[in-house]
Structure 1
């Protein structure tokens, strides 16, 4: 049998590479005669550059850029020919902000703009920005400021000051990326504003209370009125990704593409699935959002297209089995259930995932190719 192991990260515990290796080790523990191929994946969030570097080669370029709190942080982008891949979370990720300092009213995306500028200076003619895992809610204003945008107010001090904007001049930023194709890689389809927008949906994850959510949405509305007077871009699917970074990229003439599709194409999962007997994917939480175009859904669709069973391993699994089956998922396994508790699953993630994979392999029914 040939097993293709293609997980996303298990947020907070395992990178996609670590998760893939743990599953591969566990499978070989039970079935050493099988061939396993590890294909770590990302949807545009944390791990985007690492996964694409492993798949595409190219060279990573290390930089020091402005972090979400204004302090310098280390980040890198991948340069593959004339295409640069940037992971916004490396410059403004939530993991860069201690829990007691999380405040989306003041975190900035400026470092993302600095990475874009340096990639362009290095010769990139296409810049793909992976969106996800951000700590920001500034509509990408900080990113625009780093590229030269000017305003009658403050653009790079977080989302809250945007409420005081009187005007924004985007032309300097547009000139900075003239002739460069910008791509926002995300599988979030939220608009910028409103009940499904960046502030309402993602603000609480970044430390915003209900009052601040309303204030941030109002501030982003002021920003949108100053930059998108006709209102066409703010409602685009993906405009609300990464606290509105998707919106800022649209303002610069960028397009929104599926991060999952971009990565699956880069690793040629379609070709790998064609010769596989089983695909195994996974993520930290397999929930209702997972079936709305997130990575496990993309992997399951590829598997289904080739008539190959697809198994999901997850830290926590809450998807209805019938809905999962309709999406192409053959079986789902929870790390928390197999480990006995959330604490055990978190404390020994790699070991428990290896043990779970071994159990799946040893008890695999015929429908999974066993």
Structure 2
């Protein structure tokens, strides 16, 4: 049999590359004659660059950029031909914010956090000769509407530092000129890779939907942040704020759209880059997975994306996860034949303590059911 192994990361325990290798290792123990092809996947969030590098090759370029609170952080971008791939979470990710109570970011940090470092990564890509720049959105700790990104690329504002200070800085914004930033990217195709289709403002916007996980917990905090983004949008382009994906990554999608970016679902971007449709068609069984398989997995994520490709190709799709919180009926309705939870098969302590070995053990057992 030809087995395609294409998981997402198992958040907090395994990268997508590590998960794919663990599944392949376990499968081969039970079915050494099967041909196992690993294609780690991502949907634009953490792991985006590593996943694409593992499939596309290319050159990883190291850079030091500003983190969400201005501190220097290391980052890498992938240059493959004339295309560059950037993972925004490396410069403005939630994991880069100091932790307060309840494992949420410390009080007040999200109100000051900036996407300036993401703009610096785009500038590095332009200087490296990229004519197409794909920015993976996801896992952000910012809520500045992409204002910092615009500042890093040359946008000018009054007061001069308003774009770099997160929502708190935007609250004082009185004038804005995006022309220098747009000129900096003249002739460059810009892509915002995200599975999020929320607008920038309002009840479904970046602040109200995603703000709480970034520490904007109180109604007053969210009202102030959304008001600051409204001020920013009125000066930039209010119509673009309503576009699908403008609210992605704390409004980073909005900043990219202002520069002429095209939004693509993150899964589709990676799938096209690695030729996933052809790989699915050539497989006898498709295996995917992620850390927690729940209702969110069924909409725009890697698991649902793989199942969506496997169904029309008449290929069975099964999923591995740390925990499964979706019933069999819903799984099958979404094209997944079966799902296997590590915590059920090897126990929670083993799953979290030795995740690679645990996932390999699950794959070894499942191969006895699915392999010829």
Aligned residue number for residue 296 of structure 2: 289
Deviations 1:10-67 (A, max 9, x none): 1111100000011111111222221211110111111111111121121111111111
- What's the offset of the Cα at 1:316? 2.2
Moved more, 206-215 or 171-180: 206-215
Aligned residue number for residue 207 of structure 1: 215
Aligned residue number for residue 324 of structure 2: 317
Secondary structure at 2:309 match in 1: helix
Aligned length: 363
Runs (4+) of structure 1 moved beyond 6 Å? none
Residues 216 and 339 of structure 1: CA distance in aligned 2, closer, same or farther (over 3 Å): farther
Q: 2 CA distance for matches of 1:52 and 1:82?
A: 15
Q: 2 CA distance for matches of 1:349 and 1:168?
A: 49
| Alignment map for 1:1-370 (pairs within 5 Å) | 1-100=1-100, 102=106, 103-153=109-159, 154-211=162-219, 212-228=221-237, 231-341=238-348, 343-362=349-368, 364=369, 368=370, 370=372
| Aligned-residue RMSD, C-alpha | 1.4
Gaps of 5+ in 1: none
Gaps of 5+ in 2: none
Q: 2 CA distance for matches of 1:336 and 1:68?
A: 35
Q: TM-score, length-normalised on structure 1?
A: 0.95
Checking the alignment, whether the CA contact within 8 Å between 2:68 and 2:113 is kept in structure 1 is yes
Moved more, 268-277 or 114-123: 268-277
- What's the offset of the Cα at 1:311? 0.6
Secondary structure at 1:159 match in 2: helix
- What's the offset of the Cα at 1:369? 5.3
Q: 2 CA distance for matches of 1:196 and 1:285?
A: 24
Q: TM-score, length-normalised on structure 2?
A: 0.94
